Amino acid sequence: MCLRDIAPDGTEAVHPGVGNPETPVSIGWGRPSRRALDTERDKPHLHRPVHRPDVEDAPAPGEVVAIGIAVGPTGTVFEAGHRLVLEVCARDPFRAFPFLHLIPENRRTGGTVTLHTGREKCWVELPVVS
């Protein structure tokens, strides 16, 4: 998942990032099969879930599960007229960090994932500083 800064003309405004001169506003990752929270590290009051990488709980076919995805903090200042776009994708977002995914468990592909919104609570929490 990634947050993008879109200019009024439809182009993406990119920002300098760690090891990448053209980075989106922010990115976050989540896997439905690795949604178990780390109760020792998770801090619900910060609204940044911490998942356990060692617990796999793949949903059954057709099962709808909730997953919280922490998107990295940012100090981006948006120009007037720009839009903030939330992109949900099944791969590393375009212009994200150059990941290699050397661990086989992180390279799994295949299957079908359906994103459900509207019935349950779905939101993006964005603090605004003015």
pLDDT tens for 82-101 read 999 888 876 666 666 655 55
Note the pLDDT of residue 107: 59
Note the pLDDT of residue 9: 97
Closest CA to 92 of 6, 7, 18, 23: 23
| Contact indicator for 3, 73 with CB cutoff of 8 Å | no
Q: What average pLDDT score do residues 35-51 get? A: 83
How wide is the angle at C-alpha 52 spanned by C-alphas 47 and 57, nearest 5°? 110
d(CA 114, CA 127): 28
